[in-house]
Amino acid sequence: MTIQIAPSILSADFCNLERDLHAIANADLVHVDVMDHHFVPNLTLGEPIVKRICEVSPLPVDVHLMIEDPDRWAPEFAKCGARSVTFHMGATHAPVRLARQLRDMGCMACFAVRPAEPVEPIFDILEEFDMILIMTVEPGFGGQKFLANQMAKTRRLRDEITRRGLDTHIQVDGGVSPSTAHIVAEAGADVLVAGSAVYCADDPAKAIDEIRNNAQA
């Protein structure tokens, strides 16, 4: 399985964002965390900044919405030029309608579960999504400890995707580093988000290579 690395700019320097977007050009995607002070107790950025990131980023933009009412707001982020938009199970009222709306706009539709949320309810609507995000920390902040107890869920999802012959990606987000990369890859994840492990490293490009190599080992 081809592993994709998606550095999260949550741990970048927001005053040197263009520089930091270019520092990760050896990754596959850039992961942009949108938080609203309601769905999670943190606040990051909105559409005008996401639009500029999409314009200057050398990599495709993967938007992770940690906001209430994604049914209303997610299409706005697709309009900004994001390649994929992820919204949370606990926030949406009509996930299938929203996924179809995003795909109609040419954007990949992705569905996220928090650590205490089961993945099985998604099985019935799996074909509607391009990627499922398994959170490996409680969403809201970078730099938290990796939750290894999410790996059983990741494995069950990978088994279901394989059994049905689908090409759905599995993304993991939270605590991914050179030392946990092989654990998530072994469990079946193929899109690895890493914030602090990339941007707090002395050499972000080298950290990306290490995560990729360890995941593929």
Tell me whether residue 64 or residue 158 sits nearer to ligand DX5 (CB atom).
Answer: 64
Instruction: Report how many residues bind ligand DX5 under the rule CB under 6 A.
Output: 22
Annotated ligand binding at 33? The verdict is yes
Query: Any alpha helices (H) in the chain, and if so which ranges?
Result: 17-22, 47-56, 70-79, 95-104, 120-123, 151-163, 181-187, 196-199, 204-216
Q: Is 175 known as a binding-site position?
A: yes
SS3 content of the chain, % helix, strand, coil (to 5): 40, 20, 40
| Residue 69 is assigned to a ligand binding site | no
Candidate list 20, 28, 33, 130, residue with the active-site label: 33
Is residue 33 part of the annotated active site? The answer reads yes
Buried b (16+ CB within 10 A) or exposed e, 26-56: ebbbbbbbbbbeebbeeebbbeebbbebbee
Which residues of this protein are in contact with Zn ion, per CB under 5 A?
A: 33, 64, 173
Tell me, yes or no, if 173 is annotated catalytic.
yes
Helix axes 47-56, 70-79, angle to 10 degrees: 30
Q: Is 8 in the site for ligand DX5 (CB under 6 A)?
A: yes
Examine residue 95 and tell whether it contacts ligand DX5 (CB under 6 A): no
**Does 195 count as an annotated binding residue?**
yes
10 in contact with ligand DX5 (CB under 6 A)? yes
Q: Find the part of the chain contacting ligand DX5 (CB under 6 A) among 71-79, 123-131, 167-175, 182-190.
A: 167-175
Give 99 or 135: the residue with its C-beta nearer to ligand DX5.
135
The answer to whether residue 74 forms part of the interface with ligand DX5 (CB under 6 A) is no
**Interaction of residue 31 with ligand DX5, rule CB under 6 A:** yes
172 touches ligand DX5 (CB under 6 A): no
Residue nearer to Zn ion on the CB measure, 85 or 163: 85
The CA distances from residue 41 to 7, 34, 38, 139, in Å, are 21, 12, 6, 9
| Closest C-alpha to 115, from 141, 135, 132 | 135
Q: For the chain, how far is it from start to end, CA to CA, in angstroms?
A: 12
**The entry of Zn ion, ligand DX5, none that residue 143 binds, CB within 5 to 8 Å by partner kind:** ligand DX5
Q: Which two tokens stand for residue 159?
A: 């088994």
Structure tokens belonging to residue 50 = 């996401």
Give the residue ranges of the annotated binding site for substrate: 8, 64, 140-143, 173-175, 195-196
* Residues labelled as active-site residues: 33, 173
